[in-house]
Amino acid sequence: MTLDTVKRAGETPEERQPFVELGMKDDEYQRVRDILGRRPTSSELAIYSVMWSEHCSYKSSKVHLRQFSAKAPKSEALLVGMGENAGVVDIGDGWAATFKIESHNHPSYVEPHQGAATGVGGIVRDIMSMGARPVAVMDSLRFGGADQPDTRRVLPGVVEGISHYGNCLGLPNIGGEVAFDPCYIGNPLVNALCVGLLRKDQIKLATAPGPGNKVVLFGARTGADGIGGASVLASATFEDESQAKRPAVQVGDPFMEKLLIECCLELYQADVVVGIQDLGAAGVSCATTELAAKGTGGMHVDLNLVPLRDPTLRPEEILMSESQERMMAVVTPGDIPAFMAICDKWDVPATVIGEVTDTGRLVMTWDGEVIVDIPPGTAADDGPIYDRPIAEPAGQSALNADGPERLPRPDDLLETLLTLLGSPNVGSKEWVTSQYDRYVRGNTVLAQPADAGMLRVSEVMPGAQETSRGIALATDGNGRYARLDPYTGAQLALSEAYRNVAVTGARPLAVTNCLNFGSPEDPEVMWQFSEAVRGLADACRTLGVPVTGGNVSFYNQTGSAAINPTPVVGVLGVIDDVARRVRSGFVAPGLRVVLLGETRDELGGSEWAHVVHGHLGGLPPRADLRAEQELAAVLAAAAGEGLLEGSHDLSDGGLAVALAESCLAQGVGCSVTLPCDDAFVDLFSESAARALVCVRPEAFEALAELCARHDVPCYGLGTTGGTTLSVEGVFEVPVERLREAHTGALPAVFG
Amino acid sequence: MSAARVGVVTFPGTLDDQDAARAVRLAGAEAVPLWHAEHDLRGVDAVFLPGGFSYGDYLRCGAISRFAPLMDELIPAARAGLPVLGTCNGFQILCEAHLLPGALTRNEGLHYVCRDQRIRVENARTAWTADFAEGQEIVLPIKHGEGRYVADAATVAELEGEGRVVFRYAGGNPNGSLNDIAGIANEAGNVVGLMPHPEHAVEDLTGAPGVDGRGFFTSILKRLVNA
C-alpha cells in the first residue's frame, strides 16, 4: 500500500479521494483543498472528515447554540464556560464542580451494551480532563414503547452496559430518567451525565503550550474499534444496515478507566500536567488538533510511536480510531520521569509520541515521512457552519388545535391513578436502578427515586479542606411537551430539573444540556431545534442559571420519521449544609401536607392523555419561570430554616401521582382534601412550578408566611399517617395497592 | 493509648477502600492503607479487604488478587489468627485464597443487584460480630453481580454444623445463595467474609437507612483493645 505523503499529495493533485464515503460534501472537500493549497493526504482527509462531522463540529447547531453565550445570565459561580471539555462552577469553600451530559444514542441502538457502556466511559473522561475526581453518574434514557419487541432487546442491553461499566468504575449512579414512547423505537436516547469535584485552583484545560513540551498518550492501546464511528455512526441516519456497522461501535474496559482515574488524580496531585485532553470521538485527530489549536499552535507527532493493539493499523486508521480509555497530556521534559513513574504505579501504559512546537502547524510523520502538515485550528475550530433552512412543521397548528378538551374525562379517579401508576413511564424504575451501585464512595446523600441525586462534598479528596456543602443534580426532558411546542418544551425541561434540585433544599446554579433531534437537513426538524434552543437560552437567562456545556445529537430518525424533539436538561445545585437536605416524600406520620404553587387546567401532552387516550395534541403546560424561581427560593429558604421534613416535585401525572409516590417513599399514608372543586384537574393537571412538601404542624405558619412573601400559593391539604391514601370525597386506597401497581410495571415486561 | 490499627487493602480496581477507611475511622480506629504490590502489612492489628472489581474481575472474581504480593503476607498472618474481614469482592478474594471455603458465583437472576437487604446474624462469636446478638436482624446494602454462595454438600454441612454460617439473608434471597448464606467464618472465627457492605451503613446522612454496620467495627475494636 502506497503511503500518501504530503510530498505525494503535491505531486498527484488529481487523485480521486473517498471524501463522500467519509461523509464530506463536495464544498467541504474543496474547502480543505483551499486551506492546504493542495489536495489533502489520506491522513489529513481522515482528520478533516471526522473533525468536520456534525458530531465534532456542531456545524448545523453552532449558529443557534451561540445564544447560550449571548443570552447567558451573569453568574459569579461560573469558572469555566462552554467550549472546554466540561463547564466548571464555584460551589464555595474553595471547591468547584464540573458536570456535563452527552449522548451515545446511535451506538446504543446498534450495540446496546457496549454503546451505553462507552457512553458512560466517554463522559467520565471529559470530567477527568478538567482536573476533577469524577464522583457520580446519571443516565437519561428513552426507549420505544415498553411493549414493542425491540425495546426488549435494547433496554436490557443498555441497562446492563451502564450497570457493568459504571459499577466496575466505582461511581455511584444517583439518578436520571427512564421513559418510553413509540417515537424512540428505532432511535433510543442514551444520555449520560457525569459530575466531578475539584479544588478551584486545580482546574486543568485542554491546551498544549510551551514549545519543547512533550505530548504523552496514555491509557489503553489503540485498536481498530470505532474507526469512523464519529462520522459514520453519529452523523448518518441508519436504514437497515446496522448489522454491517457493528464493528464501528467501540468496546469499553472499565477496569482500565478506573486505573486511569486514579492515575490522573495522582498526576494532578504531583503537578506534572501542563494540559490534558481525553480521547473521545475522532480519537488522536481530535486530541492533537484541539490541544495544538488552543496552545502555542504547533505540534509534531510521530504516529509510529502510538502503541497499538492491532499492529496492522494504517496511519489513517490510527487517526480515526475511537479506542476507549485513552488520554493525552502535555508534560514538561523535566516532569516526564515523574509522570512515567505514576503511570507505571497504576499499570497504565504511557508513551511520548511528540512535542509542542511554535510552527503553527500540526505535523505528523510515519516511517520518517511527513503525512500530515496542517494549521490545527482549521480542523478544530474553522469547520463549516450551516445556517440551515427552517420551517414550521406542516401539521403543527392542527396538532396544537387538537387539544385534550375533547377527551372524555373519567368518573373513577382511583382507576385513573392506578392506571397511570402502573404505566411504564410513571411506574417504579427499580428494575433498572437496582442494577446500579448508588452507594460506592460513601458520599451519596440522595439517590433515585429521590427527585434529585445529592452528594456530600467533604471526604472526596483526602486531606482537602472540610466543608458542610453538598451538590444536587437532576436531569429532565419531555419529548411530548417539546413536540407540541419546542420553545416551551425546552423551558419545561429546564423548569423541572431546576425544581427537582430545589425540592432537596439546594440552590440551582448551572445547566448542561443534551439536545436530541432528528435530521438537521429537514427544515421542520431544524425549526424544532431552533425553537428549543431559543426557549432554553431565554429560560436560562430568566432563571439566572448559565449553560456550561452539553451536546447536540442530530439524525435521531429512521427513514422520514424523526423522534419527538427531546431536549434533556441537567441542573446542578449547591446546598450549604448537606445535613439539611430534604428527603423525598412523606417521611413520618403526623406531618402537615402542603401543596405549593398554582394548579390550572393543563392537560395537553399530559401523562393522562398519553396513557389513557394515546392522545398527543394541544399545548403543553405554561412555563412560568418567575413562579418557578419564587418556588425554588421558598424551598431553599424553608430547607435552610429546617422547616421541611419531606418534599416531592409535581410533574408527570400531577398531584395524584405525587401523592402516591410520596406515600410509597416510606410506606406512610395520608389524608387530604383537594383545594378546588374540579377533582380531576386538581389531581391530574401537570401545571409547572408546583411541589408537595410535608412539615411539622408547628412549622406550617412559618412556611405560609414565607410563601406569602414570595407570592407562592400555599394550600394545607391534610396530614400524613395511616396506611391509606385518602382523598376526601374522592377515593381511599391502601398504600400497598398503590405499591402493587407501581412496582409491577417494568417487571411485567422485562422479567 | 494508641488507637487500634486496621489495614485497608487496595488492589487495582478496588472501589470501596475509601468507604472502608472512613468506617474504621468513625469507629475510633486508625485506618492504615495497604497496597497490593507491597510485601508489607505495616504491623496492623486487623485487615479489611473491601469490595470492588479488583483486576476488573477478569478471569474470575478475586482470582488474580489472591496472587498479589500483599497476599503472601496476609494469608499466613490470617492463618495465625490476624482478624480479617472481607466484604463483597473481599469475600471473593478470601475464598480464592482458601482462607474461607466455597465460592461466589453469578447471581441466580443474572443481574447485578443493589438494594438494602435484611440479614440475620447467626453467629455472634466471631472477631467481627461480637457486638451483635445471635438472631438479630440488621439491614445492610448489597451490591454485587456474583454473590451466590456455593460449596459442596459436605462443606455446607460442616459450615452449618460448626455454626460457621455467620449471616443469612432474611426477607428474600437476593442471589440464590445456598441455605441463604450471606457470610461465613473460618474455624477460628478470626476470618469473616460476607457479600453485604457494613461500611455503607455507618452514618445517618449517607448509605443505607440506619447504622447497623457499626457493629462490625465496634466488635473488632473491643477485641483489639481487650487483647
Please write the tens of the pLDDT for every residue from A150-168. 999 999 999 999 999 999 9
Mean pLDDT for A613-622 is 98
C-alpha dihedral, A719 to A723 to A727 to A731, nearest 10°: -170
CB contact (8 A) between residue A435 and residue B57: no
Cβ(A384)–Cβ(A59) below 8 Å: yes
Mean pLDDT of chain B: 95
Rounded Cα distance, B227 and B219, in Å: 12
In the DSSP assignment, the letter for residue A183 is: G
Copy the grid coordinates of residue A507. 440552590
Spell out the residues 6+ positions from residue A532 whose beta carbon is closer than 8 angstroms to its own: A482, A486, A487, A489, A490, A515, A517, A565, A567
Whether A113 is catalytic is no
Indicate if the pLDDT at residue A647 is higher than 60. yes
pLDDT band for position B2 (50/70/90)? low
Indicate if the pLDDT at residue A231 is higher than 50. no
Percentage of residues in chain A having pLDDT higher than 70: 97
Copy the grid coordinates of residue A709. 412573601
Spell out the residues 6+ positions from residue A715 whose beta carbon is closer than 8 angstroms to its own: A594, A595, A675
- Of A79-83, A135-139, B39-43, B214-218, the least confident: A79-83
Residues of A whose CB is below 8 A from B16: 170, 440, 442
Show the 3-state SS of A136-168: EEEEEEEECCCCCHHHHHHHHHHHHHHHHHHHH
| Nearest CA distance, A443 vs chain B (angstrom) | 6
Indicate if the pLDDT at residue A69 is higher than 80. yes
Indicate if the pLDDT at residue A242 is higher than 90. no
Distances, alpha carbon A291 to alpha carbons A77, A300, A355, A561, in Å: 26, 12, 11, 39
Whether B199 is catalytic is yes
CB contact (8 A) between residue A255 and residue B145: no
In A226-346, where do the E strands start and end? 275-278, 298-302, 326-331
Residues of B whose CB is below 8 A from A255: 12-13, 53, 55-58
Whether the ipTM is more than 0.85: the answer is yes
**pLDDT score for A237:** 42
Cβ(A193)–Cβ(A99) below 8 Å: yes
Indicate if the pLDDT at residue A581 is higher than 60. yes
* SS3 category, A265: helix
Asked if the C-beta of B35 comes within 8 angstroms of chain A's C-beta atoms, the answer is no
Query: Which has the closest alpha carbon to A187: A114, A282, A115, A123?
Result: A115
Which of A345, A436, A437 is most worth mutating to test chain B (most B CB atoms within 10 A of its CB)?
Answer: A437
Sign of CA dihedral A122, A127, A129, A134: negative
Cβ(A226)–Cβ(A322) below 8 Å: yes
pTM, two decimal places: 0.95
What tens digit of pLDDT does each residue of A536-575 get? 999 999 999 999 999 999 999 988 889 999 999 999 999 9
Mean pLDDT for A602-623 is 97
Indicate if the pLDDT at residue B177 is higher than 60. yes
Cβ(B187)–Cβ(B202) below 8 Å: no
CB contact (8 A) between residue B56 and residue A168: yes
CB contact (8 A) between residue B18 and residue A441: yes
* Burial (0-12, 13-18, 19+ Cβ within 10 Å), A51: buried
Cβ(A517)–Cβ(A649) below 8 Å: no
Question: CB-side exposure of A100: number of CA atoms within 13 Å?
Answer: 31
Which of B36, B48, B143, B175 is most worth mutating to test chain A (most A CB atoms within 10 A of its CB)?
Answer: B143
Residues of B whose CB is below 8 A from A259: 12-13
Strand order in the sheet with A444-446: A444-446, A453-456, A470-476, A566-575, A507-516, A547-553
Distance from CA of residue A443 to its chain's centroid? 21
CB contact (8 A) between residue A440 and residue B143: yes
Chain B from 55 to 74: CB within 8 A of any A CB:
55-58
pLDDT band for position A248 (50/70/90)? low
pLDDT band for position A232 (50/70/90)? very low
| Nearest CA distance, A163 vs chain B (angstrom) | 8
Q: What is the DSSP string of A596-633?
A: ES------TT-HHHHHHH----S-PPP--HHHHHHHHH
Cβ(A349)–Cβ(A218) below 8 Å: yes
Which of B206, B212, B214, B217 is most worth mutating to test chain A (most A CB atoms within 10 A of its CB)?
Answer: B206
State which residue of chain A sits closest to B111, comparing Cα positions.
A435
Mean pLDDT for A180-186 is 95
Rounded Cα distance, A633 and B96, in Å: 55
What tens digit of pLDDT does each residue of B123-169 get? 999 999 999 999 999 999 999 999 999 999 999 999 999 999 999 99
In the DSSP assignment, the letter for residue A595 is: E
Asked if the C-beta of A165 comes within 8 angstroms of chain B's C-beta atoms, the answer is no
Question: CB-side exposure of A308: number of CA atoms within 13 Å?
Answer: 14
Indicate if the pLDDT at residue A1 is higher than 70. no
| Nearest CA distance, B114 vs chain A (angstrom) | 5
Residues of A whose CB is below 8 A from B116: none
**pLDDT score for A683:** 98
Asked if the C-beta of A580 comes within 8 angstroms of chain B's C-beta atoms, the answer is no
**pLDDT score for A238:** 43
Rounded Cα distance, A484 and A685, in Å: 16
Cβ(A518)–Cβ(A527) below 8 Å: no
Rounded to the nearest 10 degrees, the angle between the axes of helix A486-502 and helix A523-543 is 40
Other Cβ atoms closer than 10 A to A210? 18
Phi, psi of B112, rounded to the nearest 5 degrees: -65, 140
Q: All domains of chain B, ordered by start, with CATH?
A: 5-226 (3.40.50.880)
Query: Which has the closest alpha carbon to B216: B136, B105, B124, B113?
Result: B124
Catalytic pick from B36, B73, B95, B197? B197
* SS3 category, A732: strand
Phi, psi of A213, rounded to the nearest 5 degrees: -65, 150
Other Cβ atoms closer than 10 A to A116? 32
Residues of B whose CB is below 8 A from A463: none
Distances, alpha carbon A226 to alpha carbons A118, A222, A291, in Å: 11, 10, 21
Residue A560 annotated in ligand binding: no
What tens digit of pLDDT does each residue of A256-313 get? 999 999 999 999 999 999 999 999 888 999 999 999 999 888 999 999 999 999 888 8
Rounded Cα distance, A183 and A264, in Å: 41
Phi-psi region of A564 (alpha: psi -120 to 50; beta: other; left: phi over 0): beta
**pLDDT score for A247:** 53
Mean pLDDT of chain A: 93
Question: Any idea which residue has 508489607 for its cell?
Answer: B40
| Nearest CA distance, B67 vs chain A (angstrom) | 16
Question: Any idea which residue has 485506618 for its cell?
Answer: B31
Asked if the C-beta of B208 comes within 8 angstroms of chain A's C-beta atoms, the answer is yes
State which residue of chain B sits closest to A579, comparing Cα positions.
B205
Cβ(A571)–Cβ(A454) below 8 Å: no
Cβ(A361)–Cβ(A375) below 8 Å: yes
User: What residue spans of A422-574 are helical by DSSP H?
Assistant: 430-433, 479-484, 486-502, 523-543
Mean pLDDT for A433-437 is 97
Residues of A whose CB is below 8 A from B207: 439, 442, 444
Copy the grid coordinates of residue A99. 458536570
Nearest to A163 among B56, B112, B141 (CB): B112
Strand partners, B87: B194
Indicate if the pLDDT at residue A246 is higher than 70. no
Rounded Cα distance, B110 and B112, in Å: 7
**pLDDT score for B59:** 81
**pLDDT score for A462:** 67
